[in-house]
Amino acid sequence: MDAASIIQMNKVRVSLGMAPLPVPGKDAGPSFKAADESGSESDDLSTIDKRQAAAGLNWQRLEDERLEKEEREKRKAAAKKARNAAQRYAKMDGKGLGEADEEEMDTRAWLLSQKKRQKKIEKTRKLEEELAAREREALQQEYTSKDLAGVKVGHEAGEFDEATGEQVLTLKGTAIGEESEDDELENAELRAREKLEANLKLKKKRPDYDPMAQDEEKTLLSKYDEEIDGKKSKRFTLDGQGSAVETRRQLDADGEAKGKGVKISLDMLKDDAPASDYLDPSKIKVKKPKKQKEKKTRQKAVDEDDIIAPVESTLSAHASARFQSRPLSVFDIQHDSWSHLVWHGDIEPKVYKAQRSATV
């Protein structure tokens, strides 16, 4: 520590009531006496000499501080320059390209090092295999859909179809003293929605008779069913594949019902040939007009035995005049036998009238 620093420290010590430190290089320096507590600082600077002495001390103190600062900066610059020079000319560790290996390995040493290296590689590989086996065991121990087989869920399966995003199921809490054989899972959001719907239904104050709910099974006192039997819970059971057992049974039943019907292959509806606007000439069918055959009328040959000589006594005048031009047949006799009868009123037979109109 230089003299100027000691002098400044002595001033501080004197102001604190401590003895000043000796200043090196000044054997017979001025002696300082402790300041009187009752005195004031204005007494020390009451004369011009004292003021000039104080001004000289202040200037000397500032000058010493400036010189000390400059010296300190010079020392820092010199140390930095020396450090940079040492780093610039420092020698790199290790061997150069042209330098020989001090510890040159022979064949045996190289083989031993390779053997150690191979053992290290084998050890690392075994460690990796053990870690992979542990990861596989950890994955196998995790819960999967098979572990949830038989677990009941306290909601309907259709409610999860309406919800979006991932649904988290938690174990349903039971009241103290309530015994439940199986655990039941539930979703907090769906449960809160069910409670909200139940409260809204109670607020509506619907009448006991609801004509719109005829499809539901009703008992004699249906409004007291929940109080007597308890509230009916909606639930389904999970299977080992992550789906509902009830849904799988329904699908199997629908499949059996569909299997009893007629199976139709869609290959029957396929038409490989493209449709054409023109009909194939080979498929055209022309209906030939049928020839109308002339019907040949066969006339019955007149038998000579059927001809009977005319009887004038039994025939009427009209009949005799009609049969004069042709021989008389058996039919004519039977026909004209009605003519000698006299009919009263409208009781004349219609057959006879028809025959008479035909003959006329």
Joined together, the tokens standing for residue 170 give: 């938690």
Q: Name, in order, each residue with C-beta under 8 angstroms of 151's C-beta and a sequence gap of 6 or more.
A: 182, 183, 184, 185, 237, 238
Rounded to whole angstroms, the Cα distance separating 255 from 263 reads: 13
Task: Tell me which residue has tokens 């000390």.
Answer: 68
Tell me what pLDDT residue 39 has. Answer: 47
Tell me what pLDDT residue 240 has. Answer: 61
Tell me what pLDDT residue 298 has. Answer: 67
* Beta strands 236-237; 184-186: pairing state: unpaired
Where the chain has pLDDT below 70, the residues are 1, 25-46, 91-105, 141-148, 150, 161, 163-165, 175, 177-182, 205-233, 239-276, 295-360
Q: Is the overall model pTM greater than 0.75, yes or no? A: no
Tell me what pLDDT residue 40 has. Answer: 47
Tell me what pLDDT residue 105 has. Answer: 67
**Dihedral over Cα of 309, 313, 314, 315: its sign:** positive
Tell me what pLDDT residue 333 has. Answer: 44
Tell me what pLDDT residue 127 has. Answer: 94
